[in-house]
Every structure is written in structure tokens, then in C-alpha cells.
Structure 1
Amino acid sequence: MAKEYHHDVEKIVDAIGGKENIASATHCVTRLRFALKDDGKVDKKALENIDIVKGSFSANGQYQVVIGQGTVDKVYQEMVEQTGICTASKEETKAAAEKNLNPLQRAIKALADIFIPILPAIVTAGLLLGINNILTGPGIFFDNKSVVDVYAQWKDFAGIINLIANTAFTFLPALIGWSAVRQFGGNPLLGIVLGLVLVHPELLNAWGYADAKAKGEIPYWNLFGFHVDKIGYQGQVLPILFASYVLAKLEIFLNKRVADSIKLLVVAPIALLVTGFLAFIVIGPVTFAIGNGVTSLFTGLFDTVPVIGGLIYGALYAPLVITGMHHTFLAVDFQLIGSIGGTFLWPIVALSNIAQGSSTLAMLFASRDEKVKGLSLSSAVSAYLGITEPAMFGVNIPHRFPFFSAMIGSAIAAIFITLNKVMAPSIGVGGLPAIFSIVPEKWAPFAIGMVIAIVVPFALTFFMAKFRKNKTS
């Protein structure tokens, strides 16, 4: 039970500056999350000397203590009982921590808070697309033929899987609309409706826009002589993000000024109608062009100088995780998937996770510290399955050289898969299982990239650890 962690919790509370320094506290799957009154009171060295603590760091205005899956629940319960603090939701702790953020950090946090809640649907879609790829990809099990070519009875089965998997991306604006409007303070149900409006079947599908434009066949509405393109925004991120902000703020504005007796008849209809018109007349066309520009920027970089693109993103993704800025690239991934049918950035993320796990695994064999050895195995397994925080903050960053070894291995692996134009049709599980979310024809180069991400960080970490031992002995 939680009582077995009584003394450890006492030490944790003392190390973070005492219960008086805790403004709010919650926990996630692996970490205690504190909104502290003064981060300067934290004794990081004492904190990380506690047996159950696998690492600690400050991000997004919160001080986070890595405990581990399962154990963190019991530790949190014991801490609540000891300190008398009220249990808090993640949202409440995030709100308490916001006062510690600068404007850039708040913007990054807002993006994270919008995209993270919809990730389960996207990751599920990625895994299902992986199953569909196995069934429909030619040359995987048979020469130049797919499973459904050889066994026709599986064709409709694969078709249903593909339909279920593609739904999250077909109606991505609805998912983002729900999450964004909720984040901006409006009614999330209106966000869903707004997202569905932008992908209504009556509109020209966004994926057919280029052909329709080339043929001069783009449909339009005639608003008293003003032509408004009648196009949808399937797979697009920016149009629904900006429209959701306008919808939420307009709803809040009206709620403050409209009498309660007629709110139901006035607020939602006016907010949705005005935002809908603005979305098709102004917001959509402008942000659609910006989104295409972002797509062109990244595809241009990775097509023109793939070595540089792979090197930079492969090396810097892990440091971005420390700052929390990696969440901003979720929007880019979604934009790429919607615009070109896949992302070449996410496969690099998967390799970065594997590289961090490999460096951690090397410490299992290279370190003489029993705590580090015990932490390394579980953290490496976690990283190989896509959760890198225990590995990064518990082992690699405190020892520094494993972290840099992982960055080097990730960069080399990223260069290799970028040169081979590896693509994922969706975001999946960011570790070893990631290969099933890669398009089948690129499994071989991605598998080689995985080997690089395993071998290089492991070897560098192991030999650097041995060199440091020899140097100090």
C-alpha cells in the first residue's frame, strides 16, 4: 500500500522545499507534477538521491519528479495524506503553474494542451493503418503481391480497417475543434460542429483542390457578387485552430452580454454563424496558404538537403523534449499528413526515442551504481515502447554523455532514413513498434535506421563510460 513509501515521500516533500512551497500537485502516468511557489527552493541533488526517484526536471512551469508507472499513484496518495494538500486535476495544476510561464512558453503549452488530448485517436489510427499496410502492401509476404491479392477474402476486411483508421484524419478538424475550443474557453461541442462544417461533403475536398484549380473548376458561393471558394479543409490544422479561437472568444463575449433567458437562442447560433462565414471568407483561405507554405518549407528542406534536415531534427528532437517545444511539431506532422499524405518527421521521432533507450540500456552494463543499473533496464524498455522520460531524466541527462550519445545516434539514423525518403502515413507508437506505422515499401530502410539507433548510442555510451572509469581510476 501507499504507507510503504512514507519515508520516501517525506524526503521528496523536504527536497522540493516543504509542503509550504507546493501551490498544487497532481500526477500523470509516470511523474509527480508540482506547481511550486519557488523552484529555487528545490534541492535537486537530495531529491534524486531518493531511491524511488528516477529523475526530475522543470518544464512548462511545473516541477516534475519521475517515479514510474504504477508506483506514482501510491506515492501521490501518500503525499496527499502526509501534507494535507487537496488532490488536484492536471488542469488545475497546469493553471497554477501558468504564472511561471513567459508568453512563448504559454503559446507552446496551449498547442500541447490542444493536441495531446487527441493523440490517442491519432495513434490508434496509426496502428490500424499499420495493420492495413501489412494486408495491402505488395512484396511483404509474397513477390510483388499483397495478402489481399493472394487471399481475396481478406480484401473487404482490410477495407473496413482502412475506413476506421482514416476516420480520425478525415474528420481531424472536428477533433481539433473540440480540443481547441475547450482550451480557449468555449463550448467544445460547438468546436466539433465547426470542424465538421469545414469538412462538409458538399465542399470540394481539400485533396482535390490542386486538380480543380488547374482545371479552373473550383466551385464557389456568390455572396452578392463576392465569390467565396467552396472548398473543404480536410487534414488541415491551421484553419480550424484559428477559427476555434474566434468561435470561443465570440461565444465568451456573447455569454457576458446576452440575457440568460435567450442565451440558447442567441449565443451559439450567432457565434457559429459568424465564425463559419469568417472561416470560409477570411480565416480558411489565409491559413490554408500559410499551411501550404509550412508544408513547402519542410518538404523543400528535406528534399533539397536531406542530410541537413535529418541531422538537425534527429539531433535536436530530444533537447526539444526537455523544453516542451516538441509538441509544436505535432501540428507540423498533422499538416504534412493532410497535405502530402504522410509525415517524414515522425519516423525520426521514433528513432530518437529508440536512441535514448539504447543509451540507457548501455548504462545497465557500464555502470557500477546499483540504483542506475536497476533504473536503466526498466527505463530502456519504456523508451523502446515510446515513453522516454524515465530514460532521459532518470539516467541519460544526469550522466550527460549517454544523452549526447543518443543525440549522435539519432542524428545518424535520421540522416539515413531521410536519404531513403522514409514516410509514415500516420503518427503511431514512437519506439520499436513504430515500424508497423511506416509505409511497407520503406520498412527495410527504417529497420536499418532502427539498428543504427540501437547500436551507435549503445556503443558510444558503453565505451565512454569505460573510458571515464579508466580515466578516474
Structure 2
Amino acid sequence: MGSYSKQAKEIVDAVGGKENIEAATHCVTRLRFALKDESKVDSSKLDQIDVVKGTFSANGQYQVVIGQGTVNKVYQDLVEETGVGESSKEDVKKASESNLNPLQRAIKTLADIFIPILPAIVTAGLLLGLNNILTGQGIFFEESIIERYPQWSDIANVINLIANTAFTFLPALIGWSAVKRFGGSPLLGIVLGLILVHPDLLNAWSYGAAKDAGEVPTWNILGLTVEKIGYQGQVLPVLFASYVLAKIEIFLTKRVPEGFQLLVVAPVALLVTGFAAFILIGPVMFTVGNTITDAVIFIFDKVPLIGGFIYGGFYSLLVITGMHHTFLAVDLQLVGSKLGGTFLWPMLALSNIAQGAAAMTIGWLSKDEKLKGLSFTSAISAFLGITEPAMFGVNLRFRYAFVAAMISSAIAGMLISANGVLASAIGVGGLPAFLVISNGITAFLVGMAIVIILPIVLTFIFSKFVKQK
């Protein structure tokens, strides 16, 4: 008998019994179930189990928040005591996909591609923030730190080089993750991404000036004139090229004898995909990507208050549906555009902080010790950019707290959009976000104050009209 066998049995019973479980696994803090019928889940019974800190359903999986260090023990007892077979995360993903509609599957695919590369992108954002501190004027002195202390300039240059690498070779990161997701060899995905940013190609950031000057280099391929440009900072070209590469590789692997695969599969797959990328996929997706970013920029340029209100206020709803992952691609596209930064990501950061402030307030208001602990720990997590525990474990249970956070982030979103706040990169989407703000830092800090104070005030006020635990 394991130390958590009782709780494991109670959890299985509350999610509809082992006959309702297709697959089960766990991550660092949560049990993840692929269920046949989520309507059989008794969430109130789950909430009464002492090790359970919250529950939510996302991406076709029903997730039970347990906590780091305990979840693996509960899972092991769940496997041993209930007869539920041990499953990998891939097993649960495949089982859960049967519950998704086509749009949800598309969103989940994007999430599966971008989530693995987030650590590299966020790390690069934090290092760019450190570089901003060293090179920005008016932070500590009227001039920048490196202007006052020139001996620090080379240190700042090295930091900037390290930080920019992830963004300069972003197609390689996306190629690795995308080809892996589509069932191909991740190594070929890296090579494909590097092909698209090869130094012999015209840098994508120089394309506009070269086009205006009529100096865009070209190839003549069987009578076709193909622009010889790279795709730095671009997301869509490498995504679609990765899909083609993976499918060609899978097709060839099934048909080429094993003894010849090394000589045939990778060379043919890369050659065909490379030509397709430069002749068709790249130019089309380059145009589509730029059209999308131009449209988003146009909206926020012409009606920033409306854009800020909608995105800032409703971002947390995107998190509930999982659609927020699609906007990571837009953020990366904006960072790589002529704008040189994203105005969407700062609103994401403020929305996360607002959810954390609302969850913290529930902790102050509650008399339930378990809820207090969950509220405070999930608030800290939200302040550092991870909002799911705060949203699903606390704020959505007390809907007025969730609404208070939405109202606050909508107001802050209007403020920072009207003031043209930009982030030079994607960093930690919480309190440390100010490190990567490249334009409108004062307005952003005011917005940060709003999403810390206003959710507390509104949650207190709304709680007077609702019976509090």
C-alpha cells in the first residue's frame, strides 16, 4: 500500500472510475487524464480530496493539480492500486485528441510546436532585458550605464549576441520542434531552419530597403525568377516547410529499403523541401505573415483603445480555450517585423499579473486553509507568468475574481496600447516583464500598478455580494 493509495482511489472514482480513463500520466504538478466522457467527472468530490489543489480541462485533457514532489507519488499509487495502466505524455496526447474538433486540434498542434521552444525564447528575452538595462538611457543615470562606464560596453555586446541568437536562428528552433511534432527527424528540422537563414541569403530585415532600391538578389531556376532572401524572424514559412519535410521523409522511409535510407531519405527530403520553400512556400507564407502583422498593427495604430480593451481584457479567455498559443506566433512575427517589437505581449504580462492579484485576494478573504494555500501559491506562480493554477484552481471557482482580473487587465490594456508600449522580446509574462519593455516603460509600470491594485479592490467589492468560503 502506497502512502497516497487512498487519495489515488478517490481521484479515480471522482473522474468517473477506471473504465472512464483512456490514459493517464503526470507532469511536474498535475495528473493528466484522457477521459472517455468528462461529464462523468465529479469536480466537487475532487475538491474535497486533501491532496487536490484544483482541477481544469484543457486541450482534451482533464488535469488535476496536485503539486510538485507529491504528484509523482500519487500517480504511482494510482497506477498500482487501481489497475490504470502507466502511460506516457504522448499516449495521453494521442488519446485526448479524439475529444478535439478540427480547430482545437490545430491550436493544440501550434501549442505542441511552440511550448518546447519557449524556454529558449524566454531566456533570450530575459538576457535582452539585461542588455536593455545596460544600454538604456535614463534608467539609473541620464546617460546609459555603458556610456558612463565604457568598460562595460563589450560585456553588453556579448550579452546582446547571446540573447539575439535564439531570435536570429528562430526558424531552426521552430524547424526542430515542428518536424518532430509532424513525425519527422528533428535534426532535419534544424537543418531546414538553418537553410532558411543561411548567410548567403539576403537578410529578411534588409528586404524592404533592398526592394525599394531594386537590389533584391535572385536565382534563375529553370526559367523561374526566385528571390534569394532569408526568413529571419518569420514563423509561417518554416512551419509549412517543416510539415512538407516531415511528410516527404515519412513517405520515403516507408518505401526506401533500409540499407539505402541514409543515402536517399534525408538528401531527397531536404532537396525537395528546400526548392519548395524558396520557390513557393517561402514567398507565399512571407506575404501571408506580413499581411497578418500589418493588419494587427493597423488595428492597434488606428483604434488602440479598442484593441487594448479587447486583447487585454479577453486574453485570459484565450488561455481557457488554449487559443493563446496561436498568438505566440504573432508576437514572434511582430518582433521580427519592421516594428521591432510586440505590443501584444505586454498585455499578456499584465493579464497574468491581474489573475495573480485576484487569486491572492481570494486567499486573504477565505477562511479555508487549503484554499488559502492554493490561492497564495498560485498567485506567486501567476506573478511569474504561469496562470493556469490561479485561473483554474481559484479564480474560475469564484467567478467574480476572474471577472475582476479581466476588467483590470482591459483597463490596463487600453492604457498601454494608447501609449504605444512595445516589448523588444518575449520574456517572463509577469512581474519581470518590465525588463524587456523597449518603448513606453512609464506607461507599462502604471499599467502594472493598475493590474496589481484594481483586482484586489474589485475582488473585495464583488465578494460582498457573494457568500465567501
- For this structure pair, what is the TM-score category when the shorter chain's length is used for normalisation? over 0.9
Across the aligned residues of Structure 1 and Structure 2, the Cα RMSD in angstroms comes to 1.5
Task: Name 1:336's counterpart in structure 2.
Answer: 334
Matched, 1:291 2:289: yes
1:116 maps onto 2:115 in alignment = yes
Query: 1:430: Cα distance to partner?
Result: 1.0
Which amino acid is 1:100 matched to?
N
Aligned positions of 1:305-454 closer than 5 A: 305-339=303-337, 340-439=339-438, 441-454=439-452
Question: 1:133 maps to what in 2?
Answer: 132
> Match of 1:56?
55
Give the letter aligned to residue 376 of structure 1: S
Aligned position for 1:78: 77
Structure 1 unmatched ranges of 5 or more: none
User: Is the partner of 2:397 in helix, strand or coil?
Assistant: helix
1:267-306 equivalences in 2 (<5 Å): 267-306=265-304
1-side partners of 2:134 and 2:163: how far apart? 14
Distance 2:420 2:111 in 1: 28
Residue by residue over 1:57-107, the C-alpha shift from the partner in whole angstroms, topping out at 9 and shown as x without a partner, is 221111111222333233222222222333322222101111111111111
What SS does the corresponding residue of 2:141 show, helix, strand or coil? Answer: coil
Within 2, Cα distance between the matches of 1:466 and 1:78? 42
Query: What is the alpha-carbon distance in structure 1 between the residues aligned to residue 354 and residue 332 of structure 2?
Result: 24
Q: Which moved more, 1:29-38 or 1:408-417?
A: 29-38
Q: 1:150 aligns with which of 148, 151, 155?
A: 148
User: How many residue pairs were aligned?
Assistant: 468
Contact 2:192-2:274 within 8 A present in 1 as well: yes
User: What TM-score do the two structures reach when normalised by structure 1?
Assistant: 0.96
Partner SS, residue 382 of structure 1:
helix
Matches within 5 A, 1:27-66: 27-66=26-65
Whether the 8 Å CA contact 1:125–1:166 is kept in 2: the answer is yes
In the alignment, the residues of structure 2 paired with residue 318 and residue 199 of structure 1 have an alpha-carbon distance, to the nearest angstrom, of 35
Paired with 1:224 and 1:84, the residues of 2 have a C-alpha distance of 63
Partners of 1:66 and 1:390 within 8 A in 2: yes
Which residue of 209, 228, 237 corresponds with 1:211? 209
Given that 1:25 and 1:93 are in contact with CA atoms closer than 8 Å, whether structure 2 keeps it comes out as yes
Per-residue Cα deviation, 1:145-185 (whole angstroms, up to 9, x for no partner): 11110111110001001000000000000000011111111
Match of residue 169 from structure 1 = 167
Matched-pair contact (CA < 8 Å) for 1:68–1:390: no
Q: Contact between 1:57 and 1:65, CA under 8 Å: does it hold in 2?
A: yes
Cα distance in 2, alignment partners of residues 57 and 250 from structure 1: 38
Determine if contact 1:57/1:63 at 8 Å carries over to the other structure: yes
Aligned-partner Cα distance in 2 for 1:319–1:200: 39
Structure 1 counterpart SS, 2:23: strand
**How far apart, in 1, do the equivalents of 2:75 and 2:383 lie?**
26
Partner of residue 87, structure 1: 86
Letter in 2 for 1:167: T
Alignment-derived partner of residue 253 in structure 1: 251
Cα distance in 1 for partners of 2:28, 2:145 equals 38
Q: Give the CA deviation at 1:250.
A: 1.0
CA distance in 1, matches of 2:460, 2:102: 41
CA contact (8 A) 1:5 1:75 kept: yes
CA distance in structure 1 between the aligned counterparts of 2:314 and 2:75, rounded to whole angstroms: 33
Structure 2 unaligned runs (5+)? Answer: none
Kept in 1, the 8 Å contact 2:9–2:82? The answer is no
Shift of 1:373: 2.1
More off after superposition, 153-162 vs 249-258: 249-258
**What's the CA shift for 1:366?**
2.0
Quick check: 197-206 or 221-230, which moved more?
221-230
CA shift, 1:467, in A, is 3.2
Shift of 1:370: 3.1
How far apart, in 1, do the equivalents of 2:81 and 2:452 lie? 43
Q: TM-score, normalised by structure 2?
A: 0.97
Aligned-pair CA distance for 1:3: 4.1
Question: Take 2:117 and 2:94, find their aligned partners in 1: how far apart are those partners?
Answer: 20
Query: Which of 228, 231, 254 does residue 230 from structure 1 map onto?
Result: 228
Residue 197 of structure 1 is aligned with which of 182, 195, 198? 195
Tell me, in whole angstroms, the C-alpha distance in 1 between the residues paired with 2:196 and 2:207. 14
Q: Deviation at 1:275?
A: 0.7
Tell me what 1:243 maps to.
241
Are the equivalent residues in 2 in contact too, given 1:366–1:466 (CA < 8 A)? no
Structure whose residues are more often helix by fraction: 1
Q: In structure 2, how many angstroms separate the alpha carbons of the residues matched to 1:469 and 1:259? A: 69
Rounded Cα–Cα distance in structure 2 between residues aligned with 1:277 and 1:363:
57
Q: 1:48, 1:259 → 2: CA distance?
A: 55
* 2-structure distance, mates of 1:52, 1:134: 43
Give the drift of 1:51: 2.5
The separation in 2 between residues aligned to 1:30 and 1:218, in whole angstroms, is 51
Q: How far apart in 1 are the matches of 2:43 and 2:440?
A: 44
- Confirm or deny: 8 A CA contact 1:66 1:393 kept in the other structure: no
Provide the rounded CA distance (Å) in 2 between the counterparts of 1:152 and 1:348: 35
CA distance in 2, matches of 1:87, 1:446: 47
**How far, CA to CA, are the matches of 2:116 and 2:236 in structure 1?**
17
Aligned to 2:262: 264
From 174, 177, 180, the counterpart of 1:179: 177
> Could you report, residue by residue, the CA deviation over 1:392-430 in whole angstroms, capped at 9, with x for unpaired residues?
111110111100111001111111111111111111111
SS at match of 1:24: strand
User: Structure 2 CA distance, aligned partners of 1:302 and 1:389?
Assistant: 27
